[in-house]
Amino acid sequence: MNKYQGLHYFWSLFGWTAYNENTVPDDAMERSGGHYITYEAATDSLGEDILLSASLWQRSTSWTEIHAKAEEIAEHIETQFPPEIPIDGGFLKIRKARPFATDMADDDDTIRRIRLNIYAEYLTAY
């Protein structure tokens, strides 16, 4: 699995459809059952931390489920010390950045969005 596939794999672990933010279909909300994740994709080489963000999106009038999903992701990162994902030539390490989760406004008051910030470190020679 290459570096980009490693990022996609990580964001796909949580039961919601994950899209690179540059490839989100217009009907993503309908395709994904009312919720999905978008994420930034960027890479670097050995020992460089990259600050990346992702967004949780949900059609709802409540924040309860989307907050629970953000907590699930935070707990996963914290309990994996940090998670290491095998990729070609090494590993991808994910750590929480600060602030980790931020509620975001949307023009549509039935859309809930939370932006998540992580550090990605590619432990590879290239």
Domains defined for the chain, CATH in brackets:
3-123 (3.30.70)
Mean pLDDT over 28-50 rounds to: 91
pLDDT at 8 over 90: yes
Cα 15 to Cα 47, 60, 106: the distances in Å are: 30, 17, 23
- In Å, how far are 14, 49, 61, 73 from 52, measured between CA atoms? 17, 9, 27, 15
The answer to whether 4 touches 85, Cβ cutoff 8 Å, is no
How many CA atoms are closer than 13 Å to the CA of 46, on its beta-carbon side?
A: 5
Check residues 14 and 48 and name the one with the higher pLDDT: 14
**Residue 121, φ and ψ in degrees, nearest 5:** -125, 125
Largest Cα–Cα distance in the chain? 46
Which tens digit of pLDDT belongs to each residue from 57-93?
999 999 999 999 999 999 999 998 667 899 998 999 9
Count of CB atoms within 10 A of residue 52's CB? Answer: 18
In the prediction, which pLDDT does 29 show? 96
The pTM for the full model equals 0.93
| Mean pLDDT taken over the chain | 94
Token pair recorded at residue 104: 């975001």
In the prediction, which pLDDT does 47 show? 72
Q: What is the mean pLDDT of residues 19-45?
A: 95
Q: What's the pLDDT at 82?
A: 66
Averaged pLDDT, 25-44: 95
Is the pLDDT confidence value at 125 over 90?
A: no
Q: Percentage of the chain surpassing pLDDT 70?
A: 98
Helix (H, G, I), strand (E, B) or coil at 22: coil
